[in-house]
Amino acid sequence: MKISKLFKKHKNKWVLARVLKEDKLNRLIEVKPILVSSNRDEVYKALGKVKRGTHVATIFTGEFPKKDMAYIFFFYESTKI
């Protein structure tokens, strides 16, 4: 699924998706959703069950607040084999 279609189809959702295609700057072009949820914790819980070495992304399809907000990004490597 094209990333633009994902954002239109699943508005204001958290998505765990397998990455199928990226551009040269590692921006997502095409993904396959694994889990779509309104609950971020469900997505992070499912992330822990992803097979090691699988290229995935967690995506929020809503709008982030623009003012007076801090953002934290982290890298997670699955230990599942």
Write out pLDDT tens, residues 23-73: 999 999 999 999 999 999 999 999 999 998 999 999 999 987 666 666 666
| Residue 70 tokens, joined | 């801090």
CA angle (32 as vertex; 13, 5 as ends), nearest 5: 60
pLDDT > 60? residue 19: yes
Q: What is the pLDDT of residue 36?
A: 97
Mean pLDDT of 4-21: 95
Q: Is this structure's pTM higher than 0.75?
A: yes
In whole angstroms, give the CA distance from residue 46 to residue 2.
Answer: 22
Give the 3-state secondary structure of residue 7. Answer: helix
| Residue 13 tokens, joined | 């959702």
Number of H helices, E strands in the chain: 2, 3
